[in-house]
Amino acid sequence: MHNRPERLDPYAVAELERMAGRSRDALAAAGLPVWTSRDDRRSRSGVWVEVDPLVGGGGFVGWRADASTVARAAVGDGRLDDPAIRCNGQISQVMIEAMATILRLNGITVEEAEDDLRAIQLQVLHTDEGSEADTPGA
């Protein structure tokens, strides 16, 4: 018998979805392209916002650049010294820093995700109710 990962309770998931929505709105209001589905995330550049409903999960924000396609191909071909890999990582880091600033200006508390599987991503920790975050870009 396989052990299924434990899911958060529905109220906790709803809160994560609310925070994800506020994050998405703030980043879109700043002019960044925001994609919400996994299919869009694989094929387009821009911000992606995801809710992981499992215990230990949370709300996460990341960046995907066109360069990531080239970087993935280089890794797949064993070309680990390919400049595209370094460039993609640097682009992602710069965008994560910019997104963190935008989110914080909108009353959204974020930090870099600590999970090794979520390298160069932000975890959304809190959104201030009744703050500027109610009006993205305010």
The secondary structure of 21-59 as a DSSP string is: HHHHHHHHHTT--EE-SHHHHHHS-EEEEEEE-BTT-EE
| Each residue's pLDDT tens digit, 45-87 | 899 999 999 988 899 999 988 767 778 888 889 888 888 888 8
Residue 114 lies in a domain: yes
Q: Looking at per-residue confidence, does 36 or 135 come out higher? A: 36
Cβ–Cβ < 8 Å for 124, 99: no
Residue 28 lies in a domain: yes
Residue 115 lies in a domain: yes
Task: Please report which confidence band the pLDDT of residue 110 belongs to, taking 50, 70 and 90 as the band edges.
Answer: very high
Q: CB-based burial of residue 49 (10 Å sphere; 0-12 exposed, 13-18 middle, 19+ buried)?
A: buried
Cβ–Cβ < 8 Å for 53, 7: yes
Backbone angles phi, psi at 127, to 5 degrees: -125, 135
Residue 77 lies in a domain: no
Cβ–Cβ < 8 Å for 94, 63: no
How high does pLDDT run on average in the chain?
Answer: 85
Range of the domain at 57: 20-62+98-134
Residue 86 lies in a domain: no
Average pLDDT over residues 11-29: 95
Residue 57 lies in a domain: yes
DSSP 79: -
Cβ–Cβ < 8 Å for 61, 48: yes
Average pLDDT over residues 21-44: 83
Partnered with residue 78 across adjacent β-strands are: none
Residue 81 lies in a domain: no
Task: Please report which confidence band the pLDDT of residue 4 belongs to, taking 50, 70 and 90 as the band edges.
Answer: confident
Count how many domains the chain has.
Answer: 1
